[in-house]
Chains A and B, each alone.
Chain A
Amino acid sequence: MAECHPVGYQWVMEARARGAKVFHVDPRFSRTSATVDRYLAIRAGTDIVLLGALINYVLSNGLDFREYVLAYTNAATLVNGDFRDTEDLDGLFSGFDEETGRYDPSTWAYEGDVPEEEEPVEGGGHHAEAAGSDSYGARGAGASASPPSDPTLTDPRCVYQILKRHYSRYTPEMVEELCGIPPERFHELAEAVTANSGRERTTAWVYSVGWTQHSVGVQYIRAAAILQLLLGNMGRPGGGIMALRGHASIQGSTDIPTLFNLLPGYIAMPHAHRHDGLDHYLEQEGADTGWWGNRRAYVVSLLKAWWGDAATEDNDYRFDYLPRLTGDHGHYATVMGQIDGTVKGYFVVGENPAVGSANGKAQRLGLANLDWLVVRDLMLVETATFWKDAPEIETGELRTGEIGTEVFFLPAASHVEKEGTFTNTQRLLQWREKALDPPDDCRSDLWFYYHLGKRIRQRLGDDEIDRPVTELTWDYPEIGAQRDPDAAAVLREINGTAADGRPLASLRELKPDGSTSCGCWIYCGVYADGVNMAARRTPHTEQGPVALEWGWAWPANRRILYNRASADPQGRPWSERKKYVYWDGTKWTGPDVPDFEEDKAPDYRPQEGARAQDALAGTDPFIMQSDGRGWLFVPSGLADGPLPTHYEPHESPVRNALYGQQANPARRTIDRPENPYNPALSPRFPYVYTTSRLTEHHTTGAMSRPLPYLAELQPEAFCEVSREMAEEIGLENGDWATIVTARAAIELRVLVTGRVRPLRLNGKVVHQIVMPYHWGYSSGGVVTGDVVNDLPSIVLDPNVYIQESKAGTCDVLPGRRPRGRALLDLIERYRDG
């Protein structure tokens, strides 16, 4: 966090100054490790072992926050009798199909729930196929509001007992053997975390892509969620699990998504074969109980925002105009489509996949096989210049004259040259003013898409097939000589309006009958009363510590989600010290906006057949879930199991000591010649690598390498190795090393450091190498270097299709890499053994 979020990290330093104890778990000793109370070195790709052992520590010592756990989680809920755990099946859950590599999750359901019927779509497992899990999990498909339960937590089929059994083998000894963390260090962490949780205290977890970029990435976060729920650290001040985002407004780009499987506000993208019309789609995509039961109002309001008067009840509000999924259209599937020639054109906006995505060569081969490519960026990034300076030109794999891709480079405006909002990791929207016009042809993305849309619309006729575009509401006021669309008008549209054009004040005003429009239901209220709430900047000295008048947080300006859980079931604060949102006898109140219906009393009990939030009791704080509970066990929505389980990375030098199952059985591999894998346990690739970032640079370096003041601070691509590893291989500090995987061989400067240490795993020594990935072959950089992301393979988490770039295997040789054809020969020798 100090390394990549130094400005946010000031508050960690502040917390330390006030007595907070801070631990840092990371394969590399970074600037964060240097400034915490305790650093724990861990083997990359083993965090579920550590988190699982913490869960086991809590459960086997009876340290869970029992009252919270009983009232607010699904610990007591009974699970289908046919469910089989990894304990029974040596690392598999029930429902796994060896042939397709997919799970049928029906046995994971709650007792008595009829699992949704699986429709065979292109090989089955539709949510694995189309990454629907995002929305599934949130909506709790297939879980009823009041499933059978055992409040004594003794039934072997209750979640609590399943959890206890599942994590029983996650012991401190296993942590030492797999993670390389000694038992005394584990105990120090376990004692600190549990002692600092409960009525009086809360503990927070902060993570970043070190947790997500794994073939079991989603389950890392799930493991933290289980621990936090058991300790009562969710929905309470000082608790939670904080995702640090990679750069500005990444949160915003999932809320108003650039993801292929989502519509704004985490609404599922319709599927071409699963959904016949609006009613059918709404019926299938989500539960009727819990807040998602209101989804018709959100979807219809979105369709009204996009197609205005053309969207009527008679035509399903133009639901049929929405694009449809037919399968996986994620980044890596798209790249394979490029190589195969099925993807002809490509927009790359503010990204640099030629350097930033896993298996850089596959990325560039894809780019070289397009008809056209549009790159919008501040700099001529490697993705735009691959045709003349990619490594494949040097090796002869690509020839400039033979690349048919027509590249359009369109210079972008920087953040000071455009207005709009950034949404940060805590869901806070903050308005930015425009300081000056962008120079020359540089334009904002808003300008680009708006004017592109205008030009396309001008060229379209009256054909029915063109109507989804011609009927779009596409009329924003244009400002200044550059005719920038008014960003505030766009935010007003996102906020939504009533039938009379009045800006909506709250998402509760959204209607399913087409009388309201709203571009993103969770952002509804950001323009309440016609005021840009995101632009509010009341100083902290003029308001309370929750600072509700600084910017605006979705939803409804709530700063802590699920904050009903900050009070006990009767609505009283858990403690005076942790008092936050509570029931004052007539309503919920406190310094934050209650994440609950203000007048729903703690003793409210739903009537039979109630829908949406009415189906949840006054004691159910997790209002987005169909049962209002925090899910320790996930009955549906995940592609790789209801409970986080340790699997070794796809490429690992170590056998999975926990189960016979070595790697995530449901992981997605791409078995193609462009994407060869290092065999697991291969002596040819004995070292563990992880990739990282530095304070001095930003992602692929396109915004830092061209700047001399930043480039001089970290001028060359390097790797960090331990003294022991350097000695074993013959690496010299400051000299060169060549790193080899089945995909690539790259050269990096060597930094020999005592900060990296060999890990002792059950007698076996494992060396790790750490590589910052900020360098590439151009980007207008005053410094350049080999592309670290050429090394990782494309192997994906089955839920969200993130690549496993944080843990892999490699070999390391002293000296520089060969050039030209000799480089390919080297890689081939490794590949063929």
Chain B
Amino acid sequence: MAEQRMGFFTDTTVCIGCKACEVACKEWNDVPDDGFVFRATSYDNTGALGASTWRHVAFVEQDGRWLMSSDVCKHCTNAACLDVCPTGALFRTEFDTVVVQADVCNGCGYCVPACPYGVIDRREDDGRAWKCTLCYDRLRGGMEPACAKACPTKSIQFGPLDELRERAAKRVERLHAEGTTQARLYGANPDDGVGGTGAFFLLLDEPETYGLPPDPVVTTRDLPAMWRWAGGAALALAAGVAACFAGRKP
């Protein structure tokens, strides 16, 4: 494990919606196109994050305002996808990021419903699960992820998570001082339902406006308790059965 956890801070207030992040991601990671569909939803024609879209720019048209925001895998502190993966294809890297190993994934798909953000997805043609790797290969080579590199306005910032959180807090402070009181961070709180995210965002509206869940919870949060219940129930059942047998007269 590296000394520092690495992550993304996406400051949507300076996003200009150029989609360079989407293209750079696909170029570097060799992600196939996601179809050619005119969706008539503002300037968004890739729709959402998925197996073949690892960065996705949302365009939200409001009265007199056009919000743009580049979404990405959150690289959760408590990652449910990783918890449920039976093959070990999903693993936590030395940068504290969450990555799928395509050569290990068996396409079981357990991770897909496990993600509270709907990020990870299976490709129809090969059945395996795909998502943002936070450019694991580039990080190992000492480079920043392709999307952050391509972003012309520093809307996508990459770095040690501690530093990013500090920078983001200052940015929010400044925006508030300038009168942009709607500015808020999303995913920067280590006490939230996923233990905070490795990729967090500065938003200008409610998370739902951008298509983000307002209060994400790691779907495996209750798993230990459920297993305890299930284990308890099994024990009780076994005990009952045993009692039945025990109560029988020889």
Contacts and interface: CB of A to CB of B under 8 A. Distances in A.
Interface of A: 2, 6-7, 9-10, 13, 17, 29, 31-35, 694-696, 708-716, 718, 733-734, 749-755, 782-783
Nearest to B62: A754
Given A31-B66, A35-B14, A733-B40, A713 B61 contact: no
A34 B17 contact: yes
A441 to B, nearest CB: 26
Interface residues of B, number: 32
Contacts of B152: 6-7, 9-10
Interface stretch (B42-50, B226-234, B237-245): B42-50
Interface string B32-67: 111111111011011000000000000001010111
A713 B38 contact: no
Interface string B98-133: 000000000000000000000000000000000000
B22 A29 contact: no
Contacts of A33: 66
29 contacts: A2-B17, A6-B18, A6-B20, A9-B152, A10-B154, A13-B14, A13-B16, A31-B66, A31-B68, A34-B16, A694-B43, A695-B17, A695-B19, A709-B27, A709-B33, A711-B36, A712-B34, A712-B35, A712-B36, A712-B46, A714-B45, A733-B40, A750-B40, A751-B42, A752-B40, A753-B42, A755-B61, A755-B66, A782-B36
Given A13-B153, A709-B23, A709-B26, A2 B37 contact: no
Nearest to B174: A17
Contact of B18 (A17, A695, A714, A751): A695
Contact of A716 (B16, B27, B38, B67): B38
B18 A2 contact: yes
Contacts of A32: 16
A10 B33 contact: no
A131 to B, nearest CB: 36
Nearest to B15: A35
Residue from A2, A9, A750 whose CB has the most chain B CB atoms within 10 Å: A2
A578 to B, nearest CB: 25
A734 B39 CA distance: 7
Contact of B66 (A17, A29, A782): A29
Contact of A754 (B14, B18, B40, B63): B63
B235 to A, nearest CB: 54
Interface in B199-247: none
A364 B85 CA distance: 59
Nearest to B27: A709
Contact of A749 (B34, B38, B61, B63): B38
B68 A712 contact: no
Contacts, number: 91
B175 to A, nearest CB: 11
Given A32-B16, A708-B36, A749-B40, 11 more contacts: A2-B16, A6-B153, A9-B152, A13-B16, A31-B66, A696-B19, A709-B33, A711-B36, A712-B45, A713-B46, A716-B38
A714 B43 contact: yes
Contact of B45 (A13, A709, A713): A713
B23 A710 contact: yes
B69 to A, nearest CB: 12
Interface string B179-196: 000000000000000000
Contacts of B66: 29, 31, 33-34, 755
A749 B22 CA distance: 23
B40 A712 contact: no
A752 B39 CA distance: 12
Contacts of A13: 14, 16, 153
Given A29-B66, A782-B36, A9 B42 contact: no
B61 A754 contact: yes
Residue from A29, A713, A750 whose CB has the most chain B CB atoms within 10 Å: A713
A788 to B, nearest CB: 15
B187 to A, nearest CB: 23
Contacts of B37: 715
A639 B68 CA distance: 45
B243 to A, nearest CB: 64
A755 B64 CA distance: 7
Q: Which 10 A-B pairs have the closest CB atoms?
A: A734-B40, A34-B66, A708-B33, A715-B36, A716-B38, A6-B18, A2-B16, A10-B152, A712-B33, A13-B153
A758 to B, nearest CB: 15
A204 to B, nearest CB: 19
Nearest to B16: A2
A9 to B, nearest CB: 6
A717 to B, nearest CB: 9
Contact of A783 (B22, B27, B34, B36): B36
A718 to B, nearest CB: 7
A34 B40 contact: no
Residue from B16, B34, B36 whose CB has the most chain A CB atoms within 10 Å: B16
Contact of B16 (A6, A29, A734, A754): A6
